[in-house]
Amino acid sequence: MKLNRLDIPDVVVLAPQLFGDHRGFFMETFRADFFKEKIADMSFVQDNHSRSSQGILRGLHYQIENSQGKLVRVILGQVFDVAVDIRKSSPTFGRWIGQTLSAENRKMLWVPPGFAHGFYVLSPEAELVYKCTDYYAPQHERSIRWDDPQIGIRWPLIPGKPPVLSEKDENACMLDTAEVFS
């Protein structure tokens, strides 16, 4: 597993080692010992899987209590995946990291607790799977606007494919009025 720390050091891109042969390929996508030693001493309690069509944007989501760390990968298609640091005391508060994750590049993004997460679908269809360090807690769910100018995410929007949002995400608030982490 190759590990690459990004401009926000807590956010990590992982690239599994691929073993290809005449049958196809094999790769390890998660090992608790590696994760604990190299990234964070946290355990995962929930796995999620979602499918979305091109132009769908989900985010920017977080849970203000039971904050979830998420280990995200794409098993079909391609997305632009984003983590935003919303820890008030962090030197990188309000900054974002974006990575293209695809079934082809097999990269994974580690979005730590204390970050908001979202993605925009670049391919005709995309399926995302992600492991979470805490359980879904709808009462603590929050959403920040994907296009908050204070955050300034440079989404690689496809011409003619403006982001399609859920009603919850349409009504999301800006970072300056959002509940954030201390």
43 contacts ligand TDO (rule: CB under 6 A): no
Contact 39, 30 (CB under 8 A): no
Coil/strand/helix, residue 140: helix
Residue 136 known to be catalytic = no
Among 4, 17, 48, 171, the residue binding ligand TDO under the rule CB under 6 A is: 48
Q: Where are the beta strands (DSSP E) in 30-159?
A: 46-53, 57-63, 70-76, 78-85, 96-102, 108-111, 115-121, 125-132, 141-143
Among 61, 73, 106, 131, the residue binding ligand TDO under the rule CB under 6 A is: 61
Residue 61 known to be catalytic = yes
Among 77, 113, 118, 163, the residue binding ligand TDO under the rule CB under 6 A is: 118
Nearer to ligand TDO, 58 or 106 (CB): 58
Closest separation in Å from C-beta 22 to ligand TDO: 37
Closest separation in Å from C-beta 130 to ligand TDO: 7
Q: Where are the beta strands (DSSP E) in 31-86?
A: 46-53, 57-63, 70-76, 78-85
Closest separation in Å from C-beta 118 to ligand TDO: 5
CA 91, CA 159: separation in Å to the nearest integer?
A: 34
Site string for ligand TDO, 125-154 (x = CB under 6 A): -----------x------------------
> Residue 4 pairs with which residues in a beta bridge?
13
Question: By CB neighbour count within 10 A (0-12 exposed, 13-18 middle, 19+ buried), where does 128 fall?
Answer: buried
Nearer to ligand TDO, 14 or 109 (CB): 109
- Which residues are catalytic, by number? 61, 130
Q: Which residues bind ligand TDO (CB under 6 A)?
A: 48, 50, 58-59, 61, 70, 117-119, 136, 166
